[in-house]
Structure 1
Amino acid sequence: MPKWLKISLKIFAGLVLLIVLILVGATLYITFNKAKVLKMVNEQLDKSVDGTLVIGDMKPNFFRGFPDVSLTLQDVIVRDKQYSRHQHTLLNAKDFSVSINTMALFKGTIDINHIDIRSAAIDLFTDSTGYSNTAVFKKDNKKVKDNPSESSSSTQLKKFSLSNVTFTVDDRKAHKLFNFAVNELKGKMTYPDSGWRANFHLDVLAKSMAFNSLRGSFIKNQQLEGDFVAGYNEKTGKVNISVLPLNIGKDPFKINAVFATADKPSPHFTINIVADQIMWRRASALLAPNITTVLNQFNISKPMDVTCNIDGSFGGTDGGPKLYVTAKVKDSKITIPGAELDSCSFNGVFTNNYIKDKGFGDDNSAIKLIGLKGTYNHLPFTIDTGSIINLEKPIATGNFKSNFPAADLNYFLQDDVAKFSNGEADINVRYTADVVNYKINKPVIKGAIHLKNTDIYYLPRNLKLKNNSISLNFVGNDLVLNNIRLQTGQSIVNMEGRVNNFLNLYYNAPEKILLTWQIRSPELHLAEFLGFLAQRKTAPAKKSQANSGNVVDQLSNVLARGKAEMHLKVNKVYYRKFLATDATADLLTTDDGIIIQNVGLKHANGYLKMNGKMMQGNSLNRFALNTVVSNVNMREFFMAFNNFGLKDFTYENLKGYLSAKTSITGGVTDAGDLVPRSLNGNLDLSLRNAALIDFKPLVNVGRFAFPFRDVKNISIPKLDGHFVVNGDMITIKPLEISSSVLNIDVAGVYGLTKGTDIALDIPLRNPGKDSLITDKAELAKKRYKGIVLHIRAHEENGKMKIGWNKNHK
């Protein structure tokens, strides 16, 4: 063996032996001077304690702190002077081990390098007045200041470790409660000129981390484990902590924190947390219960990237801390109360300090969804920035945009209102809505909805519309409808409409909604709109009984209960054989029908005016009409109206021009047919240049009374009459008929089916040349000249009998 190696080994062995001898000596010294060393330790620790410090026992551990001397202090208790009042022990440790610098010990001083605390409880308590049991630690030492020679150098802790330790911060004034069960806390410290640095490993169970104990704890009952780097700067009074990563439960987090211990009136802290690809429910479980309860009403199917900034103070009374949370979501299914959104992507933000200096409570909290894209019931949509503000009374706002095939509306509307096909829909609206039970309720919208070139089947009226375009514009509180083109069969309708105060009435008073329409049409075929005669097919009772906060359900309710005022101008109106031109009308829908006003139209070379009402019922619709007919062609007029239900008297029996005033009630079926025997009312007729052609009752009378006269073609230059209609009975008020064949005075009742009883006074003279007489008095005198027949035509046992009128006076 080389000589130098032998010498080196001897020196090394000597050093080891020397250290062992020193440790043995130190151990023996402590053993035989236990009371003295215990007193020295007490005195050293007591320099920083203003209260009670109790060390139950002390014993050395030779190998535990090698090469330092390790002392185990047992049953260590530290209490402040107010303990008897609040009953919170600052430190209660069964095993408190201290490693002491060996050389310093022989000099008669204590230099602690390592503290190991096991089976202990640390309780930092602050009462409602702000007093803390940490007052046990002296803030300064006047004796040291007055006589620095009596002070010893500050103790610099090199290592520390805790295991099986309960650590509690209970601040009753600031309503904060932190409670951790420390399985292991183990680290090292260095002391540069600026302060200190520490590296440590942490394994704890967070039983409570309540920044506001009134609202509950963050990361409650979550296991925390990670390697920390910490540092303290004496000049700034700040403690910086970072951990990469900290495992909270099963999820890793990147955390950086700053604690500004010098801030007044209380220390301030900032904690930044980053979590990549964490599930929604796992993230929400880490927050306080008041937040978790809200967030758990929702769910996101895929992991998301989350950041969280927590900013607050340990002694604050503002309900903090301030929270700012961000999340990035991509291509996920989002579940919200009552609905599911597919293929959603957005950047989310949560803050509990929406308005600066308004506090950090639910009432000042907000959720923002930025760049939200997704689909709902097959409808793609985007919301550039959607917000939910004030979690106590939530208000949702946002800009909603969507463009899609109009047929996709069928998924949205279901079977309550309409079915769409062809064309496209475009929606661009801003909405504001209450959030009730975490559902959007009664949204108020502004903007526009456009439908282009779409086919609509309007279910409540069984109405099919082709190639339609509609624009709905929400302006202020009003709804403006323009650029509307509807086509059903051969009818084309162009419409402009408006509902004043629409947004206020839509949910709260739909029965007060009045839609004012301006309707223009080049050609209208009324038979294509017969669905409006039948009662409206309503949505299920559960949706129509009361106002709904859901916009789609409420649409059906509004259509059923709202009213419309329509002002029509139509170039041509067709209904079966009826044709009118230049038609105008004012219509007002009511709960039970339609009010008809100011109807005017040209027909059969004449003009019609009408006012009245149509009342809808089950299969039978009642109407009440006041009509003025001016100089219409009788043949065309009766043919157009299907002879008004008359069978024996038809358009084929008539020629000439008719003017009339009517006040009639009656019934019409859902198919648009006049209900037989339903007419009631008064009818005033005025005929000019008329002719009665082949009217069977008169032909029959003519055969009996005037076998040689042509009663099949009777010209009537002028006739004015008054009739009362009662079902299938028409009462003929005394009527003078002056014709080319004979003059007749008629009075009685004409039965459409039975009950006819008509009195006829017929002068037998030939009135063929009466038209040449211009003197009215002479004409009246000649009317009854000669023989006058008094005939009665009446029904008896179902047969018409014609004979002498024995009742004539």
Structure 2
Amino acid sequence: MPKALKVILITLLILVSLFGTLFIYVYQNIDELKKYALKEVNQMLTAELTAKSIDVTVFKTFPKVSLALNQVSIADPIRANKKLLQAEHLFLGFDILDVLNSNYKIHLISLDSGSVFLYTNGKGKTNYDILKETEAPSKKKKPFSFQLNKLELTRMSLEVQDLQSNFSTHTYLQESSLSGSFTDKRFTMDIALKGNSKFIQSGSLTFFKDKEIGVQTSLDIDQENNKYQFIKGNFTVNQLILDLTGYIQNSKNQTEYQLGFKANKLSIQDLLSTLPVSLPEAMNAYQSSGNVFFEGSIKGIQTANQNPQVKINFGIDQGSLVEPDSKMKLEQISLKGSFDNGKSGSLEDAVIAIPTFNAILVGSKINGNLTVSNLQSPTLNLDLNGEADLNTLHTFFKFADVKEIGGNVQFTLTLKGEKKGEGWDWSSPFNKGIFALQLDKLKLNYLTKALEKGTIKAELNNNSLTLSQADFVINKSDLKATGTFPGFMDFLVKKGASLNGSISLSSAFLDIDDILIYDSSDPREEGEQALDYTISLKANANQFVYGNFNANNFKMEAILKPDLIEFNNANLSTCGGTFSGNGQWIMQNNLYVLKSSNQAKGLNINELLKQFNNFGQTEFTSQNLNGSLSASTDLLVVWDSKMNLISDKMLVVTDMSIKNGELINYEPLNSLSKFVDVNELKNLKFSELKNTLTIKDKMLTIPTMDIRNNALNLNLTGVHSFENVLDYKIKLSLSELLSKKRKPQSNEFGEEDEKTRGINLFLTIKGPISDLKFVFDRKGAKAQLKQDAKQEKENIKEILKQEFGIKKDSTLKKVEKNENNDELEFEAN
């Protein structure tokens, strides 16, 4: 081994050994500090610092040795049950040599994962002045002092509330660092900060809401003269970068400001990024040109009764933006604005003014002015005029979710509002606006059909919007609407406000499939709130279509809310009769639910079954049932997101009557020919059939009913599933069979009727229609018929109670049977 290499290895071994020995010694001595560190720190503070545990670390704050105080908090000294500080970790850093000398000087404070709340009450008392004045170290205990040269805040929420000046702010610090010899009389402090400004609020005015911020600056700090001079530095708000110059100097009763700031190499996007609205991400790629400026100053003395002068000038002169794909240019952009807090320097005298702004795009132009005065209780004045080609706007701005758009819009607006409390008052008689839109076509990503033609004319008066015309064509449907929306400006401006109004809607032809065109797969953006609205609607349509269903003279009154339509007094003519009802149409969990109580009169049942595709069942279809239907019905029907019927969720209770009815080739009755020769059963005619039927769990329940017909009078009860599996109980009069020369089976299966001296036959028919089983049942079938008659009314009441919430006095009533016909037995001749 070469001699030089051997020397290097020996040296490294010695250094590692010394380093290891040093750290062992440090850890042995630091344990002594842990015993009383928290007590010593609290002796330097006027508010108590608490920690769940204390550890020692070197590697997290290397080369510092640190006490790691875990889950720390400092109680607010002037507010009960509040915290000045909360953090997951607080690191107090010491130099290794200080630890070796048992001279514990805190050089580093590092906080992470928590919050700091700095508060000033109405009398000017603060909660953060908690460091006691430095005292000479006591000889009875080891020196323990702050000689801070670095402060770090990571993932910390910083809130400031000053009731005296009516100022508050909330900032999230992703990472921040302040470094310098804080205990020297004069030193340079370097500040690096990156985070997010939630808001800065002064009086009633809110600035820098949800803006990315950054600071990179150096300050010359003269602690003897309380002067803070900016050596270099910049302050960043989104894309706006400001160079800071000047100084701040504190004295006993006042603070002097001599500050200036100016943005260099500023683009239009940089300036617009400071506005309260968010710009589309794509606009960052647009080519910007023109003279863009932002500059200002803060100068003067601040005392309890005086504020410094704040002046800001900003604007765009001969600006332009070029969209990179189409090369379309938004040009002649002109905007000049200013902020001035007036001679008094108070918010009451502060004014934000944009006396003019305008821009031109191919086929489009806009111009206007804006003034906001008295920022303590702001008053806004806005004038806006313009016209635009919608296709040109879309090509330039690339509207999200728009596939295709054509048409034009014209608008003029004069607006005045006053901030009162937490809201705005828009009741000024000066508030006027006219809006006119001609739409040639509109295709959106989350609408399954396009709006092919549209015309909207609306007028704003005070705080109310009047819709004088709103005509649309969607596929084959036409819609014409008028309406009023009181409190419309509140809805536009106030977060979470509800849209309230009334609309009258008419149509010559209305297809519901042309209305239900919203694709529920539309994802809601993060933080986006669902639109809240309550709309009173009166609608009518000459022709009303839904799938195969066709109606005329449709009228309805409804209340529209998010995912809910409550309809009343719905009336229409269809299938040769009339229909009326009340109910709810509910949209939830990608399902459509209809709850309804309705009445039908004189409906052609054959046509009705055809139009509604037999209501999703195969028991009674348009091929085997004719007649005139009248019914009082309560129902609950559920469809999936594609409007496919979910039959196992269907519930129907109907008190119905069919007059002049025909039952054609009804398989369960035709099967009786195995026992008796009844050809007439293939076309069973009856003058009237009454019963109360229920559908639940894909099962049709038929309570006991008489079927008096041209072939063979009988009594029937039972159940019939949607899968065509049935269980019927049938009662026949043997005397009637004999009188019609039928051929009954042996009378050992019969029973003599004590009332009529005749014989009744009881049949049970069970199984799938393709393989029915027939059994003569002298006792079991009779008992079942009696039990069905007894339980029928109670069962229906229970269904109504559980599923519909209908009270005992509901209009839906069971058809009463004549007590003498409980067994439907007939007199023998």
Letter in 1 for 2:766: H
Q: Please point out which of 703, 718, 721 is paired with 1:751.
A: 721
Alignment correspondent of 2:762: 790
Q: How does 1:106-505 map to 2 (within 5 A)?
A: 216-217=257-258, 281=264, 302-303=290-291, 329-331=317-319, 342-346=330-334, 348=336, 350=338, 352=340, 359=344, 363-374=348-359, 380-390=364-374, 397-408=381-392, 410=394, 420-431=404-415, 447-457=433-443, 459-505=445-491
Q: Aligned to 2:623, what secondary structure does the other structure show?
A: helix
Residues 1:630 and 1:767: Cα distance change in structure 2 (over 3 Å): farther
Cα distance in 2 for partners of 1:796, 1:326 equals 84
Alignment correspondent of 1:631: 602
Q: Aligned to 2:528, what secondary structure does the other structure show?
A: helix
Q: Please point out which of 541, 544, 547 is paired with 2:526.
A: 541
Q: Does 1:681 align with 2:652?
A: yes
Q: Does 1:579 align with 2:579?
A: no
Answer whether contact 1:598 1:609 (CA < 8 A) is retained. Answer: yes
Alignment correspondent of 2:499: 513
Give the superposition deviation at 1:648. 3.4
Cα distance in 1 for partners of 2:246, 2:563 equals 66
Answer whether contact 1:723 1:730 (CA < 8 A) is retained. Answer: yes
Residues 1:603 and 1:746: Cα distance change in structure 2 (over 3 Å): same
Cα distance in 1 for partners of 2:760, 2:606 equals 31
CA RMSD of aligned residues (A): 5.0
Letter in 1 for 2:694: V
Normalising by structure 1, we get a TM-score of 0.52
Answer whether contact 1:740 1:767 (CA < 8 A) is retained. Answer: no
Q: Please point out which of 742, 748, 751 is paired with 2:712.
A: 742
Answer whether contact 2:632 2:656 (CA < 8 A) is retained. Answer: yes
Cα distance in 1 for partners of 2:642, 2:479 equals 22
Q: Does 1:696 align with 2:667?
A: yes
Cα distance in 1 for partners of 2:360, 2:548 equals 50
Letter in 1 for 2:331: S
Q: Aligned to 2:648, what secondary structure does the other structure show?
A: coil
Cα distance in 1 for partners of 2:514, 2:660 equals 36
Give the superposition deviation at 1:512. 3.6
Cα distance in 1 for partners of 2:425, 2:452 equals 31
Answer whether contact 1:379 1:409 (CA < 8 A) is retained. Answer: no
Cα distance in 2 for partners of 1:519, 1:467 equals 17
Answer whether contact 2:333 2:357 (CA < 8 A) is retained. Answer: yes
Give the superposition deviation at 1:627. 1.6
Letter in 2 for 1:399: D
Cα distance in 2 for partners of 1:486, 1:361 equals 52
Residues 1:636 and 1:785: Cα distance change in structure 2 (over 3 Å): farther
Give the superposition deviation at 1:744. 1.8
Alignment correspondent of 1:153: none
Give the superposition deviation at 1:694. 1.6
Answer whether contact 1:526 1:575 (CA < 8 A) is retained. Answer: yes
Structure 2: stretches of 5+ with no match in the other structure: 1-244, 267-273, 323-328, 741-752, 783-829
Q: How does 1:611-630 map to 2 (within 5 A)?
A: 611-630=582-601
Letter in 2 for 1:791: L
Percent identity of paired positions between Structure 1 and Structure 2: 17
Give the superposition deviation at 1:723. 0.9
Q: How does 1:88-103 map to 2 (within 5 A)?
A: none
Q: Aligned to 2:670, what secondary structure does the other structure show?
A: helix
Answer whether contact 2:485 2:500 (CA < 8 A) is retained. Answer: yes
Cα distance in 2 for partners of 1:797, 1:215 equals 98
Residues 1:735 and 1:411: Cα distance change in structure 2 (over 3 Å): farther
* Structure index of larger Rg: 1
Answer whether contact 2:457 2:470 (CA < 8 A) is retained. Answer: yes
Alignment correspondent of 1:48: none
Q: Aligned to 2:567, what secondary structure does the other structure show?
A: strand
Residues 1:307 and 1:788: Cα distance change in structure 2 (over 3 Å): closer
Cα distance in 1 for partners of 2:399, 2:377 equals 33
Answer whether contact 1:479 1:500 (CA < 8 A) is retained. Answer: yes
Cα distance in 2 for partners of 1:306, 1:646 equals 72
Give the superposition deviation at 1:327. 8.0
Q: Please point out which of 709, 712, 718 is paired with 2:679.
A: 709
Normalising by structure 2, we get a TM-score of 0.51
Q: Aligned to 2:649, what secondary structure does the other structure show?
A: coil
Q: Does 1:563 align with 2:518?
A: no
Alignment correspondent of 2:115: none
Give the superposition deviation at 1:673. 3.3
Residues 1:362 and 1:743: Cα distance change in structure 2 (over 3 Å): same
Give the superposition deviation at 1:422. 1.7
Give the superposition deviation at 1:717. 0.9
Cα distance in 2 for partners of 1:767, 1:568 equals 56
Q: How many residues align?
A: 493
